[in-house]
C-alpha cells in the first residue's frame, strides 16, 4: 500500500466514523417521529399498568409524541414479552417489566427469549411493598393465627397470584418456605382476576401491591395481615410488616422497569433513560407515589443492567430451593 493509498484509507475511515456518530445523534434528536407502544405484559388495573400510564403521559408531554400503553397479559408475562422481543429495535416498542421477568429467567426455561440477550435495559421505574391479605371469612385475626391455621390444615388453604413467576407468586412461595406451611398456589391470568377470587372468598389468601389493595383493606373487604418491606409502609403504618408479625427476615417487594428490544440504538436508549430520570425526579411524582407506597428508582442503563443480573441470580436460588422450575 502506497503512502497516498494509506492517506485515502485513513481519511475514509475518519469520514465514516463521523457519519456513524452523526447518524446516531440524529436518531436520538429526531426520535420519536411517530407513536411509541409501551407493552405491559400484565392485566389492566395492576401496578405495572397504572404506573406505565403515568409514565406514558409524562413522556408524551416531554417528547411531543404519543406513548400508547397496550396490555398483553398471559403466561406469567411471557406472551407480551415475546411480542416486544420480536419487535423492530427502533425505539417504537418498549417493554414495561417487573421482577416477574427476572424470576422467569430460572422459573420458565421454555419461554423462547432470554431477558439479557433479547432486550436492552432502559430504566427502572419504582419499587413498592406488597400487602398480605386474607378473605375475612377465613376467620383469623392476625398473621400468627393464619400460620397456625395453615399448619393445622396442610394443603387445604390456597393463595392466589396473577401467574407463575409474578411477585405475588414468589412472595407466596417465600412465605411457605420460611413458615414451613403447605398452601396451594392458584394462578390467575391477571392481577384483577386474582383480586376477584380473594374478594369473593374463592381463594383464601394473596399478596398484592399495597398501592392497589389498600382501599379494599381499609373498607374491610380483606383483612391485612402484614406488609412485605423492611419497615412499615407509609400507606398503612398501622399494619405490621410480615417480619414483625411472625416471620423474621421476610421481605418481598415489587419493582417495575423499562426495557427495549436488543440492538435498539444507544442514543435512543440514553434519551429515554434521561427523560424517565427527569420524570422520577419531579417532586409531584415523588410525593404522589410516596403516598401510594411506591418509591421512584433512578439508574443509568448500565446500572439497571447490573441490577437486573443481580435480581436474576437472587431469584434463581429461591426457585431452585423451592423446586419450582417448569419442566
Start-to-end Cα distance in the chain: 60
**For residue 83, is it within any domain?**
yes
Same domain, yes or no: 297 and 311? yes
pLDDT, tens digit, 9 for 90 and up, residues 215-261: 999 999 999 999 999 999 989 999 999 999 999 999 999 999 999 99
70 has pLDDT over 70: yes
- Residue 321's pLDDT is 80
Structural domain harbouring 154? 129-245
Is residue 106 a part of any domain in this protein? yes
Q: Which of 245, 276, 301 is the last residue of a domain?
A: 245
What per-residue confidence (pLDDT) applies to 2? 57
Domain shared by 51 and 194, yes or no: no
What integer is the mean pLDDT of 71-99? Answer: 95
Instruction: Give the model's confidence band at 15: pLDDT under 50 very low, under 70 low, under 90 confident, else very high.
Output: very low
Q: Output the domain CATH number for residue 164.
A: 3.40.190.10
Structural domain ending residue among the three candidates 214, 245, 276 = 245
> 27 pLDDT exceeds 70?
no
Residues 66 and 83 occupy one common structural domain: yes
Question: Are 168 and 120 in a shared domain?
Answer: no
Enter the C-alpha cell of residue 261. Answer: 428490544
Question: Domain for residue 327, yes or no?
Answer: no
The answer on 200 and 274 residing in a single domain is no
Half-sphere exposure of 147 (CA within 13 A, CB side): 16
> Residue 22: is its pLDDT beyond 70?
no
Task: Give me the residues paired with residue 127 across strands.
Answer: 255, 295
pLDDT at 23 exceeding the cut of 70: no
165 within a domain of the structure (yes/no): yes
pLDDT at 91 over 70: yes
Can you tell me the distance from the alpha carbon of 80 to that of 287, in angstroms, rounded to the nearest whole number?
A: 31
- Answer positive or negative: Cα dihedral of 29, 35, 39, 44: positive
Q: Look at residue 318 and tell me whether its pLDDT is greater than 90.
A: no
Distance CA 47, CA 297 (A): 15
pLDDT at 324: 84
Q: Are 134 and 98 within one domain?
A: no
Report pLDDT for 50: 93
Give alpha helix (H) positions in 31-183. Answer: 47-63, 78-85, 99-107, 115-118, 143-152, 167-179
Q: Is the pLDDT of residue 18 over 60?
A: no
Whether residue 121 is contained in a domain is answered as yes
Number of structural domains in the chain = 2
314 and 225 within one domain? no
Q: Tell whether pTM > 0.75.
A: yes
- Residue 6 domain-assigned (yes or no): no
What does the pLDDT look like over 147-186, one tens digit per residue?
999 999 999 999 999 888 888 999 999 899 899 999 999 9
For residue 68, the SS3 value is strand
Same domain, 40 and 91: yes
Same domain, 118 and 143: no
Q: How far apart are CA 221 and CA 253, in angstroms?
A: 22
| Same structural domain, 120 and 260 | yes
Cell of 280: 422520577
**Is residue 313 very low, low, confident or very high in pLDDT (cuts 50, 70, 90)?**
very high
pLDDT at 21 over 50: no
Distances (CA, A) of 188 to 2, 132, 222: 71, 17, 18
- Report pLDDT for 20: 47
Predicted confidence (pLDDT) per residue in 96-133, tens digit:
999 999 999 999 888 899 999 999 999 999 999 999 99
**236 shares its domain with 275:** no
Q: Which CATH number fits the domain that encloses residue 280?
A: 3.40.190.150
Mean pLDDT, all residues of the chain: 90
Q: Which residue has the higher pLDDT, 9 or 2?
A: 2
> What percent of the chain is modeled with pLDDT above 70?
91
* Domain final position from 245, 277, 293: 245
**pLDDT-derived band at 268, boundaries 50, 70, 90:** very high
Domain shared by 143 and 235, yes or no: yes
Amino acid at each position: 500500500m502506497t503512502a497516498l493509498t494509506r492517506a485515502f484509507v485513513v481519511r475514509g475511515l475518519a469520514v465514516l466514523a463521523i457519519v456513524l456518530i452523526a447518524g446516531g445523534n440524529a436518531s436520538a434528536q429526531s426520535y420519536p417521529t411517530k407513536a411509541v407502544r409501551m407493552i405491559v405484559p400484565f392485566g389492566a388495573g395492576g401496578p405495572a399498568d397504572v404506573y406505565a400510564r403515568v409514565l406514558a403521559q409524562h413522556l408524551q408531554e416531554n417528547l411531543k409524541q404519543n406513548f400508547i400503553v397496550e396490555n398483553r397479559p398471559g403466561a406469567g408475562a411471557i406472551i407480551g414479552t415475546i411480542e416486544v422481543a420480536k419487535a423492530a429495535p427502533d425505539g417504537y416498542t418498549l417493554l414495561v417489566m417487573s421482577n416477574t421477568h427476572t424470576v422467569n429467567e430460572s422459573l420458565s426455561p421454555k419461554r423462547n427469549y432470554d431477558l439479557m440477550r433479547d432486550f436492552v435495559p432502559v430504566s427502572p421505574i419504582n419499587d413498592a411493598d406488597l400487602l398480605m391479605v386474607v378473605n375475612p371469612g377465613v376467620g383469623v385475626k392476625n398473621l400468627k393465627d393464619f400460620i397456625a391455621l395453615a399448619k393445622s390444615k396442610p394443603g387445604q388453604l390456597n393463595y392466589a397470584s396473577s401467574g407463575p413467576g409474578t411477585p405475588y407468586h414468589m412472595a407466596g412461595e417465600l412465605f411457605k418456605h420460611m413458615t414451613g406451611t403447605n398452601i396451594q398456589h392458584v394462578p390467575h391470568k391477571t392481577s384483577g382476576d386474582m383480586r376477584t377470587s380473594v374478594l369473593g372468598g374463592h381463594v383464601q389468601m394473596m399478596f398484592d401491591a399495597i398501592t392497589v389493595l389498600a382501599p379494599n383493606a381499609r373498607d374491610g373487604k380483606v383483612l391485612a395481615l402484614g406488609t412485605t418491606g423492611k419497615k412499615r409502609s407509609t400507606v398503612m403504618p398501622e399494619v405490621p410488616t410480615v417480619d414483625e408479625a411472625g416471620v423474621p427476615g421476610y421481605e418481598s417487594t415489587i419493582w417495575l422497569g423499562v426495557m427495549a428490544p436488543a440492538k435498539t440504538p444507544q442514543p435512543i436508549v440514553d434519551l429515554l433513560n434521561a427523560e424517565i430520570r427527569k420524570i422520577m425526579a419531579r417532586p409531584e411524582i415523588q410525593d404522589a407515589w410516596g403516598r401510594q407506597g411506591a418509591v421512584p428508582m433512578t439508574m443509568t442503563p448500565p446500572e439497571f443492567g447490573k441490577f437486573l443480573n443481580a435480581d436474576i441470580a437472587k431469584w434463581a436460588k429461591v426457585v431452585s430451593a423451592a423446586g419450582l422450575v417448569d419442566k
